[in-house]
Amino acid sequence: MTELDTDTALRPVVRPDADGPEGGAPMLRLQWSALSDVGRVRKDNQDSGYAGPWLLLVCDGVGGAARGDIASSTAVQVLRRLDEPSSDDLLERLAGALHRAHDRIAELAEDDQSLDGTSTTATVGLFDGRQLGLGHVGDSRAYLLRDGELRQLTHDHTFVQGLVDEGRITDAEARVHPHRNLILKALDGVRDPAPDLFTLALNPGDRLLFCSDGASGVLDDERLGAILGQGTPDFATVELVRASLEAGSTDNVTCVVADVVRATDAPAQADPLLVGAAADLPRTAGAPLGEATVKARTSRTATSLPEGADGAIATDPLDPEAARYAPRPPRRFTWLRTLLIVLTLSGVAWVVGVAAWSWSQQQFFVGEHDGVVTIFRGVDTTLPGGFELFHPYETTDVVVDGLSDYDADLVREGIDAADLDAARTTVDNLAAQQFGE
C-alpha cells in the first residue's frame, strides 16, 4: 500500500466529456454495500455502519461495560442526517455533525451514569457527486482502491501509530503490539474530538472501503487490496468480513464498500443500509455468512458465545474494549467526586496529625530557655513557618552559663529523655555539677 498522494487526491478531476452541472466536474454516483458481524468471540456488536447515496460511515464503540454499542449507534443516528444532497461546504457539514454526535453522547452519559466512559470512533465519507469529504476520529479506517492500487486515506489515532510515526516499530509489529487497541481520540462527550478533515477527488472506477479495526487489524494491505478488487460491492463486503473472521479476528467486524460510477452508467441505488448496533439486529455469534446475510445485512439477536471443541464457552478473560480508550476522565459530578476526595484526604491528614501531636506530647527533652536549664514537653523540632512542636514544661534554677562548656553545649542542643522522670534526673545531675551537691 502506498501513502496517499495529497496533491493528486485533493485536486479536482475535470474531463471534457463531463456530465455535470454547467459542464463542470463529472457527476458521479455511489453503488454500495455494508455488512457488520458480531464475530466469533464477542457476545454483542459494538460496531455500527451506514451506507447511502451521499454518505458512508463506520463507528466502532469503545467502553466494554460502558456500552460502546450505545455510543456507536448514537453517533450513526446523528451522522446519517448528512445523507442528502447539499451545496454547503463538505468539511463544514462533517465537522458540525461530528460535534453534534459528540454532544449527544455527552447528554446520554449525563442522563445515565452507566454510560460514563462510553465513546466511539467515527470514519465518515460525505459525497457531493464529484468528491468525497472525509472526517475521521479513532482507528476505524477508510481506503481507496484506484487502478489496482490500495491507499489508506485515514491516519489512526492510536498509541501504536505514534510509535510507527516515530520509527520505533514497523507496521507489522504494530499489528501484534500488546497496546495495539489503545486509541487516543474518540467521540466521548468530554474532550473536543478534533477530527481529521480533508477532501478527496473521485474518479469513475474508484472503490472505497470503510471498516472497523476488526477487519484492518487482521488483514494486511495486500490481502485487503486483493479482496477489495474482486466482484461487486456485495461480494467484496461479504468476503472481507469472512476473511477477517477466518484470519482470527476477535472483534466485531464491519465493512462498507462503495463503487464510484458515472451517473449515466448505472441506475440510482434505492435504499440506504444500516448495520451493526445501529440496526439493533446483530448476528448470532459464530453463525456462518451466506447469501441471506448479504440481503438482510443482520439476521437475529446475539444470544450466546461460540462453544469450543470441549463444549466450553469461549471467553476473553480480559476484554480490551474495557480499557481501549486512553483519555477517558470521569464526566458526571466531577466537582462532587473532587470534593469527596479532598474531604477524605483532609480527614486522613487530620487523624494522622492528631495522632502525631498526641505522641509528641508524651516526649520530653532538656534544653535552654531564657538562659536556664528547662524541661520541654514535645519533640525538639521546628516545622516550616516557625511552628514549634515543643513548649517549656518545667523551669529550674540551673543557669546554663554556670555549667561546663561541654554540658552547656549539650543543653543548648537539647538532651533527649525517655520520659519526664528521666528528664528530671538529667536536670538533677546538671544541678549537682553546678552547685556541688
- Are 307 and 213 within one domain? yes
- Looking at residues 395-409, what average pLDDT do you find? 88
Q: What is the pLDDT of residue 336?
A: 72
Would 343 be classed as within a structural domain? Answer: no
Q: How many domains does the chain have?
A: 2
- Looking at residues 7-33, what average pLDDT do you find? 53
Q: pTM to 2 decimals?
A: 0.65
Would 20 be classed as within a structural domain? Answer: yes
Whether 53 contacts 266, CB under 8 Å: no
Would 328 be classed as within a structural domain? Answer: no
Would 80 be classed as within a structural domain? Answer: yes
- Are 226 and 291 within one domain? yes
Rounded Cα distance between 305 and 284, Å, is 8
Rounded Cα distance between 35 and 235, Å, is 11
Which spans in 181-232 are helix H? 213-216, 221-228
Q: What DSSP state is assigned to residue 320?
A: G
Per-residue b/e over 99-132, b at no fewer than 16 CB within 10 Å? eebbebbbebbeeeeebbbbbbbbbbbbbbbbbb
**Minimum mean pLDDT range among 24-33, 285-294, 375-384:** 285-294
pLDDT tens digits along 309-332? 333 333 444 456 666 876 655 555
Would 354 be classed as within a structural domain? Answer: no
Q: What is the pLDDT of residue 65?
A: 54
Show which of 323, 339, 374 is a domain's final residue. 323
3-class DSSP assignment, residue 163: helix
> The domain spanning residue 286 has which CATH number?
3.60.40.10
Between helices 221-228 and 233-246, what is the axis angle to 10°? Answer: 150
- Are 75 and 125 within one domain? yes
Show which of 323, 348, 377 is a domain's final residue. 323
Rounded Cα distance between 245 and 240, Å, is 9
- Are 140 and 201 within one domain? yes
Rounded Cα distance between 173 and 68, Å, is 27
- Are 379 and 297 within one domain? no
Cell readout for 381 is 523540632
- Looking at residues 278-292, what average pLDDT do you find? 50
- Which stretch, 205-209, 345-349, 377-381, has highest mean pLDDT? 205-209
Residue 379 structural domain: 363-435
28-37 β-sheet, strand order: 2-3, 149-152, 141-146, 207-211, 253-262, 28-37
| pLDDT for 124 beyond 90 | yes
Would 197 be classed as within a structural domain? Answer: yes
Cell readout for 426 is 538529667
pLDDT tens digits along 147-180? 999 999 999 999 999 999 999 998 888 888 888 8
Would 332 be classed as within a structural domain? Answer: no
- Are 316 and 389 within one domain? no
Rounded Cα distance between 306 and 141, Å, is 28
- Are 421 and 305 within one domain? no
Q: What DSSP state is assigned to residue 214?
A: H
Show which of 273, 295, 323 is a domain's final residue. 323
- Are 311 and 384 within one domain? no
Residue scoring higher pLDDT (211 or 357): 211
- Are 229 and 369 within one domain? no
Q: Return the residue matching grid coordinates 449515466.
A: 264
- Looking at residues 170-197, what average pLDDT do you find? 89
- Are 274 and 403 within one domain? no
- Are 236 and 108 within one domain? yes
- Which stretch, 10-19, 20-29, 111-120, 312-321, has highest mean pLDDT? 111-120
User: Looking at the chain, how many residues does it have?
Assistant: 437
- Looking at residues 262-291, what average pLDDT do you find? 71
Would 112 be classed as within a structural domain? Answer: yes
Average pLDDT, the chain: 82
Residue 134 φ/ψ, nearest 5 degrees: -120, 135
Q: What DSSP state is assigned to residue 269?
A: P
- Are 318 and 368 within one domain? no
- Looking at residues 219-235, what average pLDDT do you find? 96
Confidence of residue 346 (pLDDT cuts 50, 70, 90): confident
Q: Quick count: other Cβ atoms within 10 Å of Cβ 26? A: 21
